[in-house]
């Protein structure tokens, strides 16, 4: 099963959100007594990605998963791989408003999400229908309008590759055969290893007062205060892993169509803001092309309806300077280069 947020972390998130909104001022040391430690605890990066006991992270499973992630033999056409949509050079997105069906080229219903830090996510896909990465990676492979693969054909192709078979035997000595299970486990391990690298924000939170510029620190105060972004984009990954109706248009039912979801509410998962500068366009439908458009949406651009998330501030207004400061801060959550790399399986440093 997927990772679940411990209750003590939920309690900490609730407490710090209620008590600390708006308290931080630059530099980090110049804030209310005790606030610095709480911010550091909220935004502390973990040491290693979590993994289920039946699929532990190892260099061998990650390497095998990386090879399979780029392998077109997993698709019905033999010409498309996971990397066709989740392109490493685009921070594991495709830059399109909506994903493109590999076979027909037709647009799909939703935007291709980035894959950073999913090891910590308890539910996957925009609507949360997959409870683990092992379940999630099968979805695009099997979906007729995505890769459209069928397992007998996939396994027949892979079994004919002596080099790949040797990799499987090394990665899974107790299951030394190419099977649906070993392919799925390897792919899940690779995705689980994708940890976004530390940025200037992390250095600032760790105590380097010079890591952020004044406008960026001002943006953080807005993020945690007036703008209320922290109410959903919390923790070091800047997501609460929950599902909200934020007033977007369209007819996609989102979480409402998932068993045990939210009937009648077009709710979608809060995306992480890590590496967001490299993952435009935004939202589940890719309808917002820039971060400036995202801010316009939240500052009176959304549709007000009964199912709207209760934390959506219907009266929020942001000046041009406030918007510029917020975007400046959001930039600090992304790597300087367009294609950041995480050392596979390693703890973030």
Question: Which CATH number does 59-192 carry?
Answer: 1.10.760.10
Q: What angle (nearest 5°) sits at the alpha carbon of residue 219, between those of residues 217 and 224?
A: 100
- Share the mean pLDDT of the chain: 89
In CATH terms, are 7-47+197-331 and 59-192 the same topology? yes
Reply yes or no on whether the pLDDT at 348 is more than 70: no
Reply yes or no on whether the pLDDT at 16 is more than 60: no
What was the pLDDT predicted at 262?
Answer: 86
What was the pLDDT predicted at 281?
Answer: 98
What was the pLDDT predicted at 337?
Answer: 80
Reply yes or no on whether the pLDDT at 107 is more than 80: yes
The residue-averaged pLDDT of 324-337 equals 96
Cβ contacts of 90 within 8 Å, gap of 6 or more: 278, 279, 338, 339
Dihedral over Cα of 325, 10, 236, 98: its sign: negative
Reply yes or no on whether the pLDDT at 22 is more than 60: no
Reply yes or no on whether the pLDDT at 349 is more than 60: no
- Residue pLDDT, tens place only, 121-180: 999 999 999 999 999 999 999 999 999 999 999 999 999 999 999 999 999 999 989 999
> What residue ranges do the domains of the chain occupy?
7-47+197-331, 59-192
What was the pLDDT predicted at 105?
Answer: 82
The residue-averaged pLDDT of 218-230 equals 95
Enter the pTM of the model.
0.88
What was the pLDDT predicted at 37?
Answer: 76
Q: What is the DSSP string of 219-253?
A: HHHHHHTTT-GGGTS-TTTT----EE-----S---
Residue 238: both structure tokens together: 């800047």
**How many C-alpha atoms does 55 have within 13 Å on its Cβ side?**
28
The residue-averaged pLDDT of 193-198 equals 97
What was the pLDDT predicted at 31?
Answer: 52
40 pLDDT band, cuts 50/70/90, is: confident
**Ranges 1-10, 54-63, 93-102, most confident:** 54-63
- Residue pLDDT, tens place only, 246-286: 999 999 999 999 998 888 899 999 999 999 999 999 999 99
Nearest to 214 by CA among 17, 30, 19: 30
What was the pLDDT predicted at 347?
Answer: 36
Report the distance separating Cα 345 and Cα 342, nearest Å.
8
CB 58 within 8 A of CB 171: yes
For domain 7-47+197-331, say whether CATH 1.10.357.10 is its number.
no
Reply yes or no on whether the pLDDT at 229 is more than 70: yes
343 pLDDT band, cuts 50/70/90, is: very low
- Segment among 29-33, 116-120, 224-228 with least mean pLDDT: 29-33
90 pLDDT band, cuts 50/70/90, is: very high
Reply yes or no on whether the pLDDT at 101 is more than 90: no
What was the pLDDT predicted at 34?
Answer: 62
Residue 163: both structure tokens together: 């080099």
> What region, left, alpha or beta, does residue 275 occupy, with left being phi > 0 and alpha being psi -120 to 50 degrees?
left
CB 280 within 8 A of CB 95: yes
Question: Hey, how many other C-beta atoms are within 10 angstroms of the C-beta on 208?
Answer: 13
């Amino acid at each position: 099963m997927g990772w679940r947020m411990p209750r003590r972390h939920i309690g900490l998130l609730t407490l710090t959100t209620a008590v600390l909104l708006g308290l931080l001022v630059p530099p980090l040391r110049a804030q209310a007594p005790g606030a610095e430690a709480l911010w550091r605890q909220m935004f502390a990066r973990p040491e290693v990605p979590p993994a289920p006991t039946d699929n532990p992270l190892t260099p061998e499973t990650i390497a095998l998963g990386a090879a399979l992630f780029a392998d077109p033999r997993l698709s019905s056409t033999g010409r498309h791989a996971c990397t066709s949509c989740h392109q490493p050079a685009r921070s594991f997105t495709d830059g399109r408003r909506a994903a493109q069906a590999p076979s027909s080229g037709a647009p799909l219903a939703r935007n291709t999400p980035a894959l950073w830090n999913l090891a910590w996510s308890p539910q996957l896909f925009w609507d949360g229908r997959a409870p683990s990465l092992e379940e999630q990676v099968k979805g695009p492979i099997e979906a007729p309008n995505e890769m459209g693969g069928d397992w007998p054909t996939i396994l027949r192709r892979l079994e004919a590759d002596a080099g790949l078979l040797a990799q499987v035997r090394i990665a899974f000595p107790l299951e030394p055969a190419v099977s649906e299970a070993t392919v799925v486990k390897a792919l899940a391990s690779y995705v689980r290893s994708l940890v976004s690298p530390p940025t200037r924000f992390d250095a600032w939170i760790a105590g380097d007062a010079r890591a952020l510029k004044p406008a960026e620190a001002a943006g953080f105060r807005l993020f945690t205060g007036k703008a209320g972004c922290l109410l959903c984009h919390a923790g070091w990954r800047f997501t609460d892993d929950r599902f909200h109706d934020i007033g977007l248009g369209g007819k996609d039912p989102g979480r409402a169509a998932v068993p045990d979801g939210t009937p009648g509410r077009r709710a979608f998962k809060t995306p992480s803001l890590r590496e967001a500068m490299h993952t435009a366009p935004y939202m589940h439908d890719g309808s917002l092309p820039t971060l400036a458009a995202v801010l316009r949406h939240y500052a009176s651009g959304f549709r007000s309806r009964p199912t709207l998330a209760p934390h959506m501030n219907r009266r929020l207004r942001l000046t041009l300077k406030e918007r510029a400061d917020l975007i400046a801060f959001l930039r600090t959550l992304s790597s300087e280069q367009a294609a950041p790399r995480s050392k596979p399986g390693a703890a973030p440093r």
